[in-house]
């Protein structure tokens, strides 16, 4: 009986030892597998955006555009509206993210570039009025091959671009605001921004035309105006941001997630503007009277000023994730206060803004 009890005890001991060994081996294999799968240590991000831009330039608006604002020649498009800037800029972006293993820190370098081009021609004129036949002009029957017409002919060209560089170091602060698997990355770094704009306009107008005198004489006023401008801003300064990600389905590595971000910076830089314009006006009565009303041709205005430009930015997007790949679609806004000098003869600071949809793809390497 005692021998049977001893055998039973030895059997239980061997069985318990085998179970413990199997459990330890299984746990070890799991840890090895986890280390083999890991998380990517390098992320490469590529994308594009279509952004509504504002504040990079201003139309050339000589005095006659206001003095004759109700002219039929300026309907439906006025000389100022003929110079309207492109509403959207197209661009590309790229980002490199380094996330060391066994660390809550992440380091990134990002670039965003966008540009817009505009080239417009507007020509519009009134139908004209038939000249009364047989009226006398200094004893001779008048003949005018062209019916009296009010006319606007406007040409404009514009080129604009913007470049934004970001270098950041961030740490996952683990606030857990949006759930256990949510991530919040607080970053600090340096931001560089550069904006350029060039614009030219060539305006020819005959806003008023009619007849005067007992023997009707045709009269009209001609305006010719040209304007060119080049403007730019370059700035560099410290930045901070808070970016988060919260899974909507799945977990932090698989499924659909809501990504968001808030940021700000203060840029120290230079604001430049070079503007040249001139306007010529003349009045005509019949074929024999001509009068130059004025010719306004101020010297080129060149301005160069040091400025401090606050900047705020934000984005929100949905990302579709696999273990080492992500596709995101979202909307972003980036605003720089008082960045560009858009004045003509005197300085006038204006806010620069970009906002619109974007799409990007992330590929993870290493890990």
CA-CA-CA-CA dihedral for 363, 103, 180, 331, to nearest 10: -40
Q: Which whole number is the average pLDDT over 307-311?
A: 97
Least confident of 62-66, 72-76, 130-134: 130-134
* Per-residue pLDDT tens digits for 119-178: 999 999 887 655 555 554 443 344 454 556 789 999 999 999 999 999 999 998 876 555
Ordered by start, the domain boundaries in the chain are 1-37, 40-365
Least confident of 34-38, 339-343, 360-364: 34-38
Assess whether pLDDT exceeds 50 at residue 25. no
When pLDDT is cut at 50, 70 and 90, the band that residue 330 belongs to is very high
Question: Which two structure tokens, joined as six digits, stand for 124?
Answer: 């519009």
Alpha helix (H) residue ranges in the chain? 2-37, 63-67
Q: Which whole number is the average pLDDT over 248-260?
A: 86
* Per-residue pLDDT tens digits for 29-39: 434 333 444 57
* Per-residue pLDDT tens digits for 267-298: 999 999 999 999 999 988 776 667 888 889 99
Better-scored residue on pLDDT, 243 or 32: 243
- Quick one: pLDDT at residue 109? 97
Say whether domain 40-365 belongs to CATH 3.30.70.
no
Q: Return the percentage of the chain with pLDDT > 70, whole number.
A: 78
- Quick one: pLDDT at residue 350? 94
When pLDDT is cut at 50, 70 and 90, the band that residue 192 belongs to is very high
For residues 80 and 227, is the Cβ–Cβ distance under 8 A?
A: no
> Which residue shows structure tokens 């040091």?
306
Q: Which whole number is the average pLDDT over 180-197?
A: 89
| Geometric angle at alpha carbon 357, from 270 and 163, rounded to 5° | 25
Identity of the highest mean pLDDT range in 125-129, 167-171, 183-187, 323-327: 167-171
The burial of 260, by beta-carbon neighbours within 10 Å (0-12 exposed, 13-18 middle, 19 or more buried), is given as middle
Assess whether pLDDT exceeds 50 at residue 20. no
| Number of C-beta neighbours around residue 271 at 10 A | 22
């Amino acid at each position: 009986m005692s021998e049977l009890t001893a055998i039973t005890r030895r059997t239980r001991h061997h069985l318990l030892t085998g179970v413990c060994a199997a459990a330890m081996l299984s746990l070890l294999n799991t840890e090895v597998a986890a280390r083999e799968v890991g998380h990517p240590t390098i992320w490469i991000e590529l994308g594009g955006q279509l952004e509504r831009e504002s504040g990079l330039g201003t139309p050339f608006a000589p005095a006659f555009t206001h003095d004759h604002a109700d002219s039929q020649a300026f309907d439906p498009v006025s000389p100022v509206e003929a110079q309207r800037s492109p509403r959207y800029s197209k661009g590309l972006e790229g980002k490199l993210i380094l996330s060391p293993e066994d660390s809550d820190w992440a380091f990134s370098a990002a670039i965003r570039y966008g540009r817009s081009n505009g080239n417009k021609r507007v020509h519009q004129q009134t139908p004209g009025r038939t000249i009364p036949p047989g009226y006398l002009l200094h004893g001779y029957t008048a003949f005018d091959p062209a019916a009296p017409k009010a006319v606007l002919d406007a040409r404009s060209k514009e080129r604009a671009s913007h470049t934004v560089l970001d270098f950041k170091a961030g740490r996952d602060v683990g606030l857990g605001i949006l759930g256990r698997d949510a991530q919040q990355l607080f970053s600090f770094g340096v931001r560089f921004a550069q904006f350029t704009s060039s614009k030219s306009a060539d305006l020819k107008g005959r806003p008023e035309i009619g007849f005067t005198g007992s023997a009707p004489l045709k009269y009209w006023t001609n305006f010719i105006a040209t304007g060119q401008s080049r403007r730019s801003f370059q700035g560099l300064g410290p930045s901070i941001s808070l970016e988060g990600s919260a899974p909507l389905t799945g977990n932090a590595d698989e499924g659909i997630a809501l990504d968001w971000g808030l940021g700000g910076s203060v840029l120290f830089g230079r604001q430049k503007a070079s503007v040249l314009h001139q306007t010529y006006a003349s009045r005509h009565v019949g074929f024999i009277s001509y009068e130059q009303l004025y010719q306004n041709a101020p010297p080129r205005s060149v301005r160069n000023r040091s400025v401090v430009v606050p900047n705020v930015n934000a984005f929100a997007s949905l990302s579709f994730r696999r273990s080492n790949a992500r596709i995101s679609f979202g909307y972003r806004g980036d605003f720089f206060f008082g960045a560009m000098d858009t004045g003509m003869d005197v300085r006038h600071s204006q806010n620069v803004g970009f906002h619109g949809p974007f799409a990007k793809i992330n590929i993870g390497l290493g890990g």
